[in-house]
Chain A
Protein backbone atom coordinates (compact mmCIF):
# COMPACT_ATOMS: atom_id res chain seq x y z
CA UNK A 1 0.00 0.00 0.00
CA UNK A 2 1.31 3.45 -0.79
CA UNK A 3 1.37 5.74 2.23
CA UNK A 4 -1.26 8.48 2.52
CA UNK A 5 1.38 10.97 3.59
CA UNK A 6 5.04 10.55 2.85
CA UNK A 7 7.77 12.99 3.84
CA UNK A 8 11.41 12.50 2.88
CA UNK A 9 14.34 14.39 4.35
CA UNK A 10 12.12 17.16 5.74
CA UNK A 11 14.26 20.00 7.01
CA UNK A 12 13.40 23.42 8.35
CA UNK A 13 15.92 26.07 9.29
CA UNK A 14 15.01 29.23 11.21
CA UNK A 15 18.13 31.27 10.65
CA UNK A 16 20.85 28.99 12.00
CA UNK A 17 18.49 26.99 14.19
CA UNK A 18 17.68 23.57 12.76
CA UNK A 19 14.07 23.05 13.87
CA UNK A 20 13.45 19.94 11.80
CA UNK A 21 16.41 17.91 10.61
CA UNK A 22 16.08 15.40 7.73
CA UNK A 23 12.96 13.70 9.04
CA UNK A 24 11.39 10.86 7.06
CA UNK A 25 7.85 9.92 7.90
CA UNK A 26 5.06 7.89 6.36
CA UNK A 27 1.45 7.55 7.45
CA UNK A 28 -0.73 4.81 6.01
CA UNK A 29 -4.42 5.42 5.26
CA UNK A 30 -6.48 4.98 8.43
CA UNK A 31 -3.45 4.67 10.70
CA UNK A 32 -2.91 6.37 14.06
CA UNK A 33 0.69 7.53 14.51
CA UNK A 34 2.02 9.19 17.63
CA UNK A 35 4.56 12.01 17.48
CA UNK A 36 6.32 12.64 20.77
CA UNK A 37 9.42 14.41 21.98
CA UNK A 38 10.50 16.93 24.59
CA UNK A 39 9.47 20.59 24.30
CA UNK A 40 11.21 22.25 21.37
CA UNK A 41 11.80 18.95 19.57
CA UNK A 42 10.24 20.29 16.36
CA UNK A 43 6.87 18.55 16.54
CA UNK A 44 4.74 21.62 15.89
CA UNK A 45 7.12 22.84 13.20
CA UNK A 46 6.77 19.49 11.45
CA UNK A 47 3.00 19.95 11.45
CA UNK A 48 3.42 23.48 10.13
CA UNK A 49 5.48 22.06 7.25
CA UNK A 50 2.84 19.47 6.42
CA UNK A 51 0.00 22.04 6.47
CA UNK A 52 1.95 24.64 4.48
CA UNK A 53 2.08 27.29 7.23
CA UNK A 54 5.88 27.06 7.05
CA UNK A 55 7.80 26.27 3.87
CA UNK A 56 10.31 23.43 4.21
CA UNK A 57 13.93 24.42 3.65
CA UNK A 58 14.57 21.00 2.13
CA UNK A 59 12.89 17.67 1.57
CA UNK A 60 9.76 16.45 -0.15
CA UNK A 61 6.17 15.83 0.90
CA UNK A 62 3.55 13.80 -0.90
CA UNK A 63 -0.09 13.41 0.08
CA UNK A 64 -2.13 10.73 -1.70
CA UNK A 65 0.47 10.72 -4.47
CA UNK A 66 0.40 14.51 -4.88
CA UNK A 67 3.47 16.68 -4.33
CA UNK A 68 2.68 19.32 -1.71
CA UNK A 69 5.67 21.54 -2.53
CA UNK A 70 4.66 25.18 -3.05
CA UNK A 71 1.02 24.65 -2.09
CA UNK A 72 -0.51 27.06 0.44
CA UNK A 73 -2.46 26.11 3.57
CA UNK A 74 -5.93 26.51 1.97
CA UNK A 75 -5.07 24.16 -0.91
CA UNK A 76 -3.54 21.58 1.41
CA UNK A 77 -6.58 21.76 3.69
CA UNK A 78 -8.90 21.21 0.74
CA UNK A 79 -6.83 18.19 -0.36
CA UNK A 80 -7.84 16.56 2.92
CA UNK A 81 -5.35 17.44 5.65
CA UNK A 82 -6.92 19.01 8.73
CA UNK A 83 -5.13 20.17 11.83
CA UNK A 84 -5.79 21.48 15.30
CA UNK A 85 -3.57 24.07 16.96
CA UNK A 86 -1.66 23.59 20.19
CA UNK A 87 -3.27 26.79 21.41
CA UNK A 88 -6.88 26.65 20.25
CA UNK A 89 -7.58 29.14 17.46
CA UNK A 90 -11.32 29.76 17.54
CA UNK A 91 -13.14 32.48 15.62
CA UNK A 92 -13.88 34.21 18.92
CA UNK A 93 -16.78 36.42 17.98
CA UNK A 94 -18.59 33.87 15.83
CA UNK A 95 -20.94 31.36 17.40
CA UNK A 96 -19.74 27.81 18.02
CA UNK A 97 -22.04 26.67 15.23
CA UNK A 98 -20.66 29.24 12.76
CA UNK A 99 -17.12 28.23 13.70
CA UNK A 100 -17.78 24.69 12.52
CA UNK A 101 -19.78 25.82 9.48
CA UNK A 102 -16.69 27.64 8.12
CA UNK A 103 -14.65 24.50 7.24
CA UNK A 104 -17.83 22.76 6.08
CA UNK A 105 -18.38 25.60 3.60
CA UNK A 106 -14.84 25.67 2.27
CA UNK A 107 -13.91 21.99 2.11
CA UNK A 108 -13.47 20.59 -1.39
CA UNK A 109 -15.82 17.64 -1.00
CA UNK A 110 -18.69 17.28 -0.55
CA UNK A 111 -19.45 20.90 -1.42
CA UNK A 112 -21.97 22.55 0.90
CA UNK A 113 -24.12 25.67 0.82
CA UNK A 114 -24.64 27.68 4.00
CA UNK A 115 -27.72 25.72 5.05
CA UNK A 116 -26.01 22.34 4.58
CA UNK A 117 -22.87 23.58 6.33
CA UNK A 118 -24.87 24.66 9.37
CA UNK A 119 -26.67 21.32 9.45
CA UNK A 120 -23.33 19.48 9.25
CA UNK A 121 -22.05 21.70 12.05
CA UNK A 122 -24.97 20.70 14.26
CA UNK A 123 -24.31 17.00 13.65
CA UNK A 124 -20.61 17.36 14.50
CA UNK A 125 -21.29 19.48 17.57
CA UNK A 126 -23.61 16.80 18.90
CA UNK A 127 -20.91 14.20 18.23
CA UNK A 128 -18.24 16.07 20.21
CA UNK A 129 -20.68 17.02 22.96
CA UNK A 130 -20.95 20.74 22.21
CA UNK A 131 -24.54 20.63 20.96
CA UNK A 132 -26.06 22.60 23.86
CA UNK A 133 -23.47 25.37 23.43
CA UNK A 134 -23.87 25.88 19.68
CA UNK A 135 -25.25 29.40 19.93
CA UNK A 136 -22.63 30.76 22.32
CA UNK A 137 -19.82 32.91 20.94
CA UNK A 138 -16.65 30.82 20.86
CA UNK A 139 -14.96 33.28 23.22
CA UNK A 140 -17.26 32.06 26.01
CA UNK A 141 -16.00 28.44 25.89
CA UNK A 142 -13.81 26.75 28.51
CA UNK A 143 -10.49 25.11 27.59
CA UNK A 144 -11.86 21.55 27.23
CA UNK A 145 -14.74 22.89 25.15
CA UNK A 146 -12.32 24.83 22.94
CA UNK A 147 -10.44 21.60 22.26
CA UNK A 148 -13.71 19.92 21.28
CA UNK A 149 -14.44 22.84 19.01
CA UNK A 150 -11.01 22.53 17.35
CA UNK A 151 -11.76 18.87 16.74
CA UNK A 152 -15.22 19.55 15.31
CA UNK A 153 -13.78 22.18 12.95
CA UNK A 154 -11.08 19.81 11.74
CA UNK A 155 -13.69 17.08 11.18
CA UNK A 156 -15.96 19.42 9.23
CA UNK A 157 -13.27 19.60 6.52
CA UNK A 158 -13.93 15.89 5.86
CA UNK A 159 -10.20 15.18 5.98
CA UNK A 160 -8.37 11.97 5.22
CA UNK A 161 -5.63 12.90 7.65
CA UNK A 162 -5.88 14.87 10.88
CA UNK A 163 -2.89 16.37 12.63
CA UNK A 164 -3.71 16.80 16.30
CA UNK A 165 -1.36 19.14 18.12
CA UNK A 166 -1.81 18.42 21.83
CA UNK A 167 -5.58 18.22 21.86
CA UNK A 168 -5.45 16.75 25.37
CA UNK A 169 -3.17 19.25 27.08
CA UNK A 170 -4.80 20.66 30.20
CA UNK A 171 -7.57 18.06 30.32
CA UNK A 172 -8.39 16.08 33.48
CA UNK A 173 -7.84 12.28 33.37
CA UNK A 174 -11.57 11.74 32.90
CA UNK A 175 -11.62 14.20 30.02
CA UNK A 176 -8.60 12.47 28.47
CA UNK A 177 -10.55 9.20 28.53
CA UNK A 178 -13.48 10.82 26.77
CA UNK A 179 -11.19 12.41 24.20
CA UNK A 180 -9.57 9.03 23.49
CA UNK A 181 -12.95 7.43 22.86
CA UNK A 182 -13.78 10.27 20.51
CA UNK A 183 -10.51 9.94 18.58
CA UNK A 184 -11.04 6.20 18.19
CA UNK A 185 -14.47 6.92 16.74
CA UNK A 186 -12.96 9.43 14.33
CA UNK A 187 -10.34 6.90 13.30
CA UNK A 188 -13.01 4.23 12.82
CA UNK A 189 -14.43 6.45 10.06
CA UNK A 190 -11.20 5.84 8.16
CA UNK A 191 -9.43 9.09 9.03
CA UNK A 192 -5.71 8.72 9.67
CA UNK A 193 -4.40 10.57 12.73
CA UNK A 194 -1.03 12.02 13.59
CA UNK A 195 -1.18 12.63 17.32
CA UNK A 196 1.25 14.99 19.04
CA UNK A 197 0.78 14.49 22.72
CA UNK A 198 2.53 14.95 26.03
CA UNK A 199 -0.10 12.83 27.75
CA UNK A 200 1.78 9.55 27.29
CA UNK A 201 -1.13 7.42 28.45
CA UNK A 202 -3.12 8.70 25.48
CA UNK A 203 -0.30 8.13 22.99
CA UNK A 204 0.33 4.62 24.27
CA UNK A 205 -3.37 3.80 24.28
CA UNK A 206 -4.13 5.12 20.79
CA UNK A 207 -1.10 4.47 18.63
CA UNK A 208 0.44 1.31 17.24
CA UNK A 209 3.39 3.30 15.99
CA UNK A 210 5.20 6.20 17.60
CA UNK A 211 7.79 8.57 16.16
CA UNK A 212 10.12 10.32 18.60
CA UNK A 213 11.72 13.67 17.73
CA UNK A 214 14.56 15.29 19.63
CA UNK A 215 16.34 18.49 18.58
CA UNK A 216 14.55 18.21 15.23
CA UNK A 217 15.86 14.72 14.52
CA UNK A 218 13.96 11.46 14.48
CA UNK A 219 15.66 9.43 17.20
CA UNK A 220 13.28 6.47 17.36
CA UNK A 221 10.29 4.91 15.66
CA UNK A 222 8.33 1.81 16.56
CA UNK A 223 5.65 0.40 18.80
CA UNK A 224 4.97 2.27 22.06
CA UNK A 225 6.70 -0.53 23.98
CA UNK A 226 9.77 -0.33 21.76
CA UNK A 227 10.26 3.42 21.92
CA UNK A 228 9.76 3.70 25.68
CA UNK A 229 12.63 1.25 26.18
CA UNK A 230 14.84 2.88 23.59
CA UNK A 231 18.04 4.20 25.16
CA UNK A 232 18.08 7.36 23.06
CA UNK A 233 14.48 8.18 24.01
CA UNK A 234 15.10 7.74 27.72
CA UNK A 235 18.16 9.93 27.47
CA UNK A 236 16.26 12.62 25.58
CA UNK A 237 13.47 12.77 28.14
CA UNK A 238 15.31 12.18 31.41
CA UNK A 239 18.97 13.02 30.74
CA UNK A 240 22.02 10.72 30.43
CA UNK A 241 22.11 9.71 34.08
CA UNK A 242 18.62 8.28 33.91
CA UNK A 243 19.89 5.57 31.59
CA UNK A 244 21.78 3.93 34.42
CA UNK A 245 19.18 4.19 37.16
CA UNK A 246 15.58 4.47 35.96
CA UNK A 247 14.56 2.76 32.74
CA UNK A 248 11.28 4.18 31.47
CA UNK A 249 9.04 1.11 31.40
CA UNK A 250 6.12 0.55 29.07
CA UNK A 251 3.84 1.67 31.90
CA UNK A 252 3.71 5.44 31.52
CA UNK A 253 5.05 7.63 34.32
CA UNK A 254 2.66 10.37 33.58
CA UNK A 255 -0.45 8.98 35.26
CA UNK A 256 -1.84 12.36 36.17
CA UNK A 257 -2.72 12.99 32.55
CA UNK A 258 -1.06 16.39 32.63
CA UNK A 259 1.93 17.22 30.47
CA UNK A 260 5.42 17.05 31.96
Chain B
Protein backbone atom coordinates (compact mmCIF):
# COMPACT_ATOMS: atom_id res chain seq x y z
CA UNK B 1 0.00 0.00 0.00
CA UNK B 2 1.32 3.45 -0.86
CA UNK B 3 2.13 5.92 1.93
CA UNK B 4 -0.61 8.21 0.60
CA UNK B 5 -3.26 5.54 0.93
CA UNK B 6 -1.93 4.56 4.35
CA UNK B 7 -2.20 8.17 5.47
CA UNK B 8 -5.69 8.34 4.05
CA UNK B 9 -6.71 5.24 5.99
CA UNK B 10 -5.15 6.55 9.19
CA UNK B 11 -7.02 9.82 8.65
CA UNK B 12 -10.31 8.03 8.04
CA UNK B 13 -9.75 5.96 11.13
CA UNK B 14 -9.06 9.05 13.27
CA UNK B 15 -12.22 10.74 12.01
CA UNK B 16 -14.31 7.62 12.67
CA UNK B 17 -12.83 7.31 16.16
CA UNK B 18 -13.54 10.99 16.84
CA UNK B 19 -17.13 10.60 15.67
CA UNK B 20 -17.69 7.55 17.89
CA UNK B 21 -16.15 9.34 20.89
CA UNK B 22 -18.28 12.45 20.29
CA UNK B 23 -21.44 10.36 19.92
CA UNK B 24 -20.63 8.47 23.13
CA UNK B 25 -19.99 11.68 25.05
CA UNK B 26 -23.13 13.40 23.77
CA UNK B 27 -25.52 10.46 24.00
CA UNK B 28 -26.93 11.35 27.46
CA UNK B 29 -28.07 14.77 26.24
CA UNK B 30 -29.61 13.32 23.07
CA UNK B 31 -31.25 10.05 24.12
CA UNK B 32 -33.86 9.09 26.67
CA UNK B 33 -33.21 7.25 29.95
CA UNK B 34 -33.95 3.84 28.40
CA UNK B 35 -31.20 4.20 25.84
CA UNK B 36 -28.74 5.66 28.32
CA UNK B 37 -29.27 2.62 30.55
CA UNK B 38 -29.02 0.27 27.61
CA UNK B 39 -25.76 1.90 26.50
CA UNK B 40 -24.37 1.75 30.05
CA UNK B 41 -25.10 -1.97 30.12
CA UNK B 42 -23.38 -2.50 26.79
CA UNK B 43 -20.36 -0.50 28.00
CA UNK B 44 -20.21 -2.65 31.12
CA UNK B 45 -20.03 -5.86 29.09
CA UNK B 46 -17.62 -4.24 26.65
CA UNK B 47 -15.47 -3.41 29.68
CA UNK B 48 -15.69 -6.96 31.06
CA UNK B 49 -14.86 -8.44 27.65
CA UNK B 50 -11.93 -6.07 27.10
CA UNK B 51 -10.68 -6.92 30.61
CA UNK B 52 -10.98 -10.67 30.02
CA UNK B 53 -9.22 -10.18 26.69
CA UNK B 54 -6.04 -9.17 28.56
CA UNK B 55 -5.68 -12.56 30.25
CA UNK B 56 -7.81 -14.78 27.98
CA UNK B 57 -7.09 -13.21 24.59
CA UNK B 58 -3.62 -11.69 24.67
CA UNK B 59 -2.16 -14.18 27.16
CA UNK B 60 -4.23 -17.23 26.22
CA UNK B 61 -5.15 -18.17 29.81
CA UNK B 62 -8.85 -19.19 29.98
CA UNK B 63 -9.85 -17.36 33.15
CA UNK B 64 -13.28 -18.38 34.46
CA UNK B 65 -13.00 -16.42 37.69
CA UNK B 66 -13.26 -12.84 36.47
CA UNK B 67 -16.39 -12.33 38.54
CA UNK B 68 -14.24 -12.82 41.64
CA UNK B 69 -12.69 -9.43 40.97
CA UNK B 70 -16.01 -7.91 39.95
CA UNK B 71 -17.29 -8.97 43.38
CA UNK B 72 -14.23 -7.63 45.16
CA UNK B 73 -14.68 -4.28 43.38
CA UNK B 74 -18.38 -4.17 44.18
CA UNK B 75 -18.00 -5.06 47.86
CA UNK B 76 -14.93 -2.88 48.44
CA UNK B 77 -16.73 0.11 46.93
CA UNK B 78 -19.91 -0.64 48.87
CA UNK B 79 -18.20 -1.22 52.22
CA UNK B 80 -16.09 1.94 51.96
CA UNK B 81 -19.05 4.11 50.93
CA UNK B 82 -21.45 2.72 53.54
CA UNK B 83 -19.17 2.22 56.53
CA UNK B 84 -16.51 4.89 56.00
CA UNK B 85 -18.55 7.37 53.93
CA UNK B 86 -15.73 7.45 51.40
CA UNK B 87 -16.51 9.40 48.23
CA UNK B 88 -17.32 7.11 45.29
CA UNK B 89 -14.21 7.83 43.15
CA UNK B 90 -11.88 7.02 46.07
CA UNK B 91 -13.86 3.90 47.02
CA UNK B 92 -13.89 2.71 43.42
CA UNK B 93 -10.16 3.25 42.91
CA UNK B 94 -9.38 1.46 46.17
CA UNK B 95 -11.56 -1.45 45.12
CA UNK B 96 -9.72 -1.71 41.80
CA UNK B 97 -6.32 -1.61 43.48
CA UNK B 98 -7.40 -4.19 46.06
CA UNK B 99 -8.57 -6.52 43.27
CA UNK B 100 -5.28 -6.06 41.42
CA UNK B 101 -3.40 -6.86 44.64
CA UNK B 102 -5.44 -10.02 45.20
CA UNK B 103 -4.78 -10.96 41.56
CA UNK B 104 -1.03 -10.65 42.11
CA UNK B 105 -1.23 -13.01 45.11
CA UNK B 106 -3.64 -15.51 43.55
CA UNK B 107 -2.02 -15.22 40.15
CA UNK B 108 1.39 -16.18 41.48
CA UNK B 109 -0.22 -19.52 42.43
CA UNK B 110 -2.89 -20.07 39.77
CA UNK B 111 -0.88 -18.89 36.76
CA UNK B 112 1.51 -21.79 37.20
CA UNK B 113 -1.33 -24.04 36.02
CA UNK B 114 -2.11 -24.48 32.35
CA UNK B 115 -5.26 -24.95 30.26
CA UNK B 116 -8.23 -26.64 31.91
CA UNK B 117 -6.55 -26.71 35.31
CA UNK B 118 -6.25 -22.94 35.29
CA UNK B 119 -9.87 -22.56 34.17
CA UNK B 120 -11.21 -24.80 36.96
CA UNK B 121 -8.97 -23.27 39.63
CA UNK B 122 -10.07 -19.71 38.82
CA UNK B 123 -13.73 -20.78 38.87
CA UNK B 124 -13.15 -22.41 42.26
CA UNK B 125 -11.49 -19.27 43.59
CA UNK B 126 -14.52 -17.21 42.54
CA UNK B 127 -16.92 -19.61 44.32
CA UNK B 128 -14.82 -19.48 47.48
CA UNK B 129 -15.10 -15.69 47.52
CA UNK B 130 -18.86 -15.93 46.96
CA UNK B 131 -19.18 -18.16 50.05
CA UNK B 132 -16.90 -15.87 52.01
CA UNK B 133 -19.04 -12.83 51.15
CA UNK B 134 -22.17 -14.75 52.14
CA UNK B 135 -20.77 -15.55 55.59
CA UNK B 136 -18.85 -12.48 56.65
CA UNK B 137 -20.39 -9.75 58.75
CA UNK B 138 -18.74 -6.79 57.02
CA UNK B 139 -20.38 -7.72 53.68
CA UNK B 140 -23.83 -8.03 55.20
CA UNK B 141 -23.72 -11.78 54.63
CA UNK B 142 -26.38 -13.46 52.53
CA UNK B 143 -28.83 -10.58 52.90
CA UNK B 144 -26.58 -8.28 50.90
CA UNK B 145 -25.79 -4.63 51.16
CA UNK B 146 -27.47 -1.33 50.23
CA UNK B 147 -25.46 1.54 48.82
CA UNK B 148 -26.30 5.25 48.85
CA UNK B 149 -28.48 6.39 45.96
CA UNK B 150 -26.83 8.66 43.41
CA UNK B 151 -28.49 11.87 42.24
CA UNK B 152 -28.39 11.30 38.50
CA UNK B 153 -28.06 8.23 36.39
CA UNK B 154 -25.83 9.97 33.84
CA UNK B 155 -22.95 9.67 36.32
CA UNK B 156 -22.80 5.89 35.84
CA UNK B 157 -22.94 6.28 32.11
CA UNK B 158 -19.78 8.38 32.15
CA UNK B 159 -17.97 6.23 34.72
CA UNK B 160 -18.65 3.12 32.68
CA UNK B 161 -17.62 4.88 29.48
CA UNK B 162 -14.36 6.04 31.09
CA UNK B 163 -13.53 2.56 32.40
CA UNK B 164 -14.36 1.08 29.02
CA UNK B 165 -12.10 3.58 27.26
CA UNK B 166 -9.30 2.65 29.68
CA UNK B 167 -9.78 -1.08 28.96
CA UNK B 168 -9.83 -0.59 25.19
CA UNK B 169 -6.77 1.66 25.37
CA UNK B 170 -4.93 -1.01 27.38
CA UNK B 171 -5.66 -3.55 24.66
CA UNK B 172 -4.68 -1.03 22.01
CA UNK B 173 -1.19 -0.21 23.33
CA UNK B 174 -0.35 -3.65 24.76
CA UNK B 175 0.82 -5.43 21.57
CA UNK B 176 3.40 -2.72 20.88
CA UNK B 177 4.97 -2.95 24.34
CA UNK B 178 7.67 -5.25 25.66
CA UNK B 179 5.05 -6.85 27.95
CA UNK B 180 2.81 -7.39 24.93
CA UNK B 181 5.54 -9.28 23.09
CA UNK B 182 6.16 -11.42 26.17
CA UNK B 183 2.45 -12.22 26.54
CA UNK B 184 2.03 -13.08 22.86
CA UNK B 185 5.07 -15.37 22.97
CA UNK B 186 3.73 -17.06 26.14
CA UNK B 187 0.32 -17.52 24.51
CA UNK B 188 1.79 -18.98 21.34
CA UNK B 189 4.40 -21.28 22.87
CA UNK B 190 5.48 -21.04 26.47
CA UNK B 191 8.47 -23.42 26.19
CA UNK B 192 9.86 -21.57 23.18
CA UNK B 193 9.32 -18.28 25.00
CA UNK B 194 11.34 -19.50 27.98
CA UNK B 195 14.39 -20.59 26.00
CA UNK B 196 14.36 -17.14 24.38
CA UNK B 197 14.79 -15.44 27.74
CA UNK B 198 11.24 -14.82 28.95
CA UNK B 199 10.39 -15.75 32.54
CA UNK B 200 6.63 -16.19 32.02
CA UNK B 201 5.14 -15.78 35.51
CA UNK B 202 5.72 -12.02 36.09
CA UNK B 203 4.24 -11.12 32.71
CA UNK B 204 1.22 -13.35 33.22
CA UNK B 205 0.69 -11.72 36.62
CA UNK B 206 0.71 -8.26 35.00
CA UNK B 207 -2.01 -9.33 32.54
CA UNK B 208 -4.03 -11.00 35.31
CA UNK B 209 -3.79 -7.93 37.57
CA UNK B 210 -4.86 -5.66 34.70
CA UNK B 211 -7.85 -7.92 34.08
CA UNK B 212 -8.70 -7.86 37.80
CA UNK B 213 -8.41 -4.07 38.04
CA UNK B 214 -10.89 -3.61 35.19
CA UNK B 215 -13.34 -6.29 36.39
CA UNK B 216 -13.31 -4.54 39.77
CA UNK B 217 -13.99 -1.19 38.10
CA UNK B 218 -17.07 -2.70 36.47
CA UNK B 219 -18.10 -4.19 39.83
CA UNK B 220 -17.71 -0.93 41.74
CA UNK B 221 -19.69 1.10 39.22
CA UNK B 222 -22.32 -1.66 39.02
CA UNK B 223 -22.76 -1.67 42.79
CA UNK B 224 -23.32 2.10 42.99
CA UNK B 225 -25.59 1.94 39.93
CA UNK B 226 -27.88 -0.85 41.24
CA UNK B 227 -27.53 0.36 44.90
CA UNK B 228 -27.90 -3.23 46.09
CA UNK B 229 -25.45 -6.12 45.94
CA UNK B 230 -25.50 -9.61 47.36
CA UNK B 231 -23.07 -12.53 46.86
CA UNK B 232 -24.83 -14.41 44.02
CA UNK B 233 -25.41 -11.28 41.92
CA UNK B 234 -21.84 -10.01 41.88
CA UNK B 235 -19.84 -13.24 42.32
CA UNK B 236 -21.73 -14.49 39.31
CA UNK B 237 -20.06 -16.74 36.75
CA UNK B 238 -22.51 -15.45 34.15
CA UNK B 239 -20.56 -12.17 33.97
CA UNK B 240 -17.39 -14.08 33.16
CA UNK B 241 -19.02 -16.32 30.59
CA UNK B 242 -20.64 -13.42 28.77
CA UNK B 243 -17.29 -11.63 28.71
CA UNK B 244 -15.69 -14.74 27.23
CA UNK B 245 -18.38 -15.26 24.57
CA UNK B 246 -18.27 -11.60 23.54
CA UNK B 247 -14.49 -11.62 23.28
CA UNK B 248 -14.45 -14.84 21.26
CA UNK B 249 -17.18 -13.45 19.03
CA UNK B 250 -15.45 -10.14 18.42
CA UNK B 251 -11.90 -11.46 18.19
CA UNK B 252 -9.64 -12.39 21.11
CA UNK B 253 -6.29 -10.62 21.18
CA UNK B 254 -7.59 -7.61 19.26
CA UNK B 255 -8.25 -4.18 20.78
CA UNK B 256 -11.69 -3.54 19.30
CA UNK B 257 -12.93 -7.16 19.19
CA UNK B 258 -14.37 -7.32 22.72
CA UNK B 259 -16.32 -4.07 22.25
CA UNK B 260 -17.61 -5.16 18.85
CA UNK B 261 -18.68 -8.47 20.40
CA UNK B 262 -20.39 -6.71 23.32
CA UNK B 263 -22.26 -4.23 21.11
CA UNK B 264 -23.54 -6.87 18.68
CA UNK B 265 -24.38 -9.59 21.21
CA UNK B 266 -25.86 -7.27 23.84
CA UNK B 267 -28.06 -5.60 21.21
CA UNK B 268 -29.23 -8.97 19.89
CA UNK B 269 -29.72 -10.11 23.45
CA UNK B 270 -31.95 -7.13 24.19
CA UNK B 271 -34.07 -7.68 21.10
CA UNK B 272 -34.38 -11.44 21.57
CA UNK B 273 -35.14 -11.30 25.30
CA UNK B 274 -38.05 -8.97 24.58
CA UNK B 275 -39.45 -11.60 22.13
CA UNK B 276 -38.84 -14.81 24.04
CA UNK B 277 -36.48 -15.80 26.81
CA UNK B 278 -36.41 -19.37 25.52
CA UNK B 279 -35.42 -18.30 22.00
CA UNK B 280 -32.67 -16.16 23.43
CA UNK B 281 -31.05 -19.10 25.20
CA UNK B 282 -31.27 -21.31 22.11
CA UNK B 283 -29.72 -18.59 20.02
CA UNK B 284 -26.76 -18.01 22.31
CA UNK B 285 -26.10 -21.70 22.80
CA UNK B 286 -26.04 -22.25 19.05
CA UNK B 287 -23.91 -19.16 18.53
CA UNK B 288 -21.22 -20.40 20.94
CA UNK B 289 -21.06 -23.74 19.09
CA UNK B 290 -20.77 -22.16 15.65
CA UNK B 291 -18.19 -19.70 16.93
CA UNK B 292 -15.90 -22.25 18.52
CA UNK B 293 -15.97 -24.54 15.49
CA UNK B 294 -15.76 -22.08 12.61
CA UNK B 295 -14.21 -18.91 13.94
CA UNK B 296 -12.08 -19.55 17.03
CA UNK B 297 -10.38 -16.23 16.39
CA UNK B 298 -13.64 -14.33 16.17
CA UNK B 299 -15.24 -12.18 13.52
CA UNK B 300 -12.13 -9.98 13.45
CA UNK B 301 -10.35 -12.81 11.64
CA UNK B 302 -13.25 -13.29 9.26
CA UNK B 303 -13.34 -9.60 8.45
CA UNK B 304 -9.61 -9.66 7.73
CA UNK B 305 -9.71 -12.80 5.57
CA UNK B 306 -9.91 -11.93 1.88
CA UNK B 307 -13.15 -13.20 0.42
CA UNK B 308 -14.90 -12.85 3.75
CA UNK B 309 -16.98 -15.29 5.70
CA UNK B 310 -17.17 -18.22 3.28
CA UNK B 311 -13.45 -18.38 2.74
CA UNK B 312 -12.82 -18.16 6.47
CA UNK B 313 -15.18 -21.05 7.10
CA UNK B 314 -13.54 -23.07 4.35
CA UNK B 315 -10.09 -22.31 5.79
CA UNK B 316 -11.22 -23.35 9.25
CA UNK B 317 -12.66 -26.58 7.88
CA UNK B 318 -9.40 -27.36 6.15
CA UNK B 319 -7.35 -26.54 9.21
CA UNK B 320 -9.47 -28.58 11.61
CA UNK B 321 -9.84 -31.43 9.04
CA UNK B 322 -13.54 -31.74 9.71
Contacts and interface: CB of A to CB of B under 8 A. Distances in A.
Contacts of A51: 195
Contacts of B189: 89-92
B82 interface: no
A89 B191 contact: yes
B194 A113 contact: no
Given A74-B197, A94-B185, A98-B184, A105 B192 contact: no
Contacts of B198: 74, 102, 106
Contacts of A83: 195
Given A89-B189, A91-B188, A114-B176, A101 B195 contact: no
B196 interface: yes
Given A89-B189, A91-B189, A93-B188, A72 B181 contact: no
Interface string B172-202: 0000111001101100110111111111000
A77 interface: yes
Contacts of B199: 72, 74-75
Contacts of B184: 91, 93-94, 98, 102
A4 interface: no
B185 A53 contact: no
B185 A91 contact: yes
Contacts of A103: 196-197
Interface in B214-244: none
A153 B185 CA distance: 12
Contacts of B188: 90-94
Interface in A88-147: 89-94, 98, 101-103, 105-108, 113-114, 117
A74 B195 CA distance: 5
Given A89-B189, A91-B189, A105 B181 contact: yes
Nearest to B297: A93
A171 to B, nearest CB: 21
Given A90-B189, A91-B189, A92-B188, A106 B196 contact: yes
A176 interface: no
A94 B178 CA distance: 14
A105 B178 contact: yes
Contacts of A90: 188-189, 192
Interface residues of A, number: 32
Is chain B's binding surface mostly helix, strand, loop or mixed?
helix
B225 to A, nearest CB: 38
Interface residues of B, number: 19
B191 A53 contact: yes
B192 A89 contact: yes
A101 B197 contact: no
A113 B178 contact: yes
Interface string A74-92: 1111100011010001111
Interface in B246-284: 253
B172 to A, nearest CB: 15
Contacts of A153: 196
A73 interface: yes
Nearest to A81: B195
A94 B253 CA distance: 11
Given A91-B189, A93-B188, A77 B194 contact: yes
A98 B195 contact: no
Given A89-B189, A114-B178, A72 B195 contact: no
Given A72-B199, A74-B199, A102 B181 contact: yes
Contact of B181 (A107, A114, A156): A114
Contacts of B194: 53, 72-74, 77
Nearest to B194: A73
Nearest to A74: B199
Nearest to B186: A91
Nearest to B199: A74
A61 interface: no
B197 A106 contact: yes
Nearest to A163: B195
B177 A77 contact: no
B185 to A, nearest CB: 5
Contacts of B191: 53, 73, 89
26 contacts: A53-B194, A72-B194, A72-B199, A73-B194, A74-B195, A75-B199, A77-B194, A77-B197, A85-B192, A90-B188, A91-B184, A91-B188, A92-B188, A92-B189, A93-B188, A93-B253, A94-B185, A101-B181, A102-B196, A102-B198, A103-B197, A105-B181, A107-B197, A108-B197, A114-B177, A117-B181
Interface of A: 51, 53, 72-78, 82-83, 85, 89-94, 98, 101-103, 105-108, 113-114, 117, 153, 156-157
Given A82-B196, A89-B192, 7 more contacts: A53-B194, A85-B192, A90-B189, A107-B197, A114-B176, A114-B178, A117-B181
Interface of B: 176-178, 181-182, 184-185, 188-189, 191-199, 253
The 8 A-B residue pairs with the shortest CB-CB distance, nearest first, are A106-B197, A91-B188, A89-B192, A103-B196, A73-B194, A74-B199, A77-B197, A78-B197
